[in-house]
Amino acid sequence: MDVAEVQRTLQTNVMGVIHCTQHAFKSMKERNMNGHIFIINSIAGHNVVSGIYGEIPMTNVYSPSKYALTAITEIYRREFLGLETKIKITSISPALVETELIGEQVKRLAKDRILSPHDISNAIMYALSTPPHVQIHDMIIKPLGDMF
């Protein structure tokens, strides 16, 4: 993988989340609000997504960048607690989601084993609907029959 592409992936998947989370946390803290931060992770943040066993992983630095989000989310959770806030943080880790980033060939190969963006928004709505004393830590969302 080209080093510039590695850098773009890390800037987007890791630094983008860090910057957004810091801004959201600062805003909530300044306004004395107990909000909710969602980290959009991936199943690749829990298992290295690759091709056939023994082959080079297809996603190169994508999985490590998402693994970083898994750790970062837990660090934020502990920091929020240590700062005596009641700001919730939830990591959402979907499998393949039908977005404009997914090519038609991948959509055809996935058939009915691809998530809708509505599936993810429904998960977020569920986490938002929990009472103040309940925090959903992590959600791994896969289509029925998914093998990964």
Say which of 62, 67, 76, 126 is annotated catalytic.
62
- 62 an active-site residue? yes
- Give the H or E element holding residue 90: strand 88-94
Write down the residue that tokens 């938002």 correspond to: 128
Vertex 61: Cα angle to 97 and 147 (nearest 5): 40
Residues 106, 96 contacting (CB under 8 angstroms) = yes
Give me 71's structure tokens. 């750790």
Residue 52: is it exposed, middle or buried by C-beta count within 10 angstroms (0-12/13-18/19+)? exposed
SS3 content of the chain, % helix, strand, coil (to 5): 50, 10, 40
Catalytic machinery residues: 62
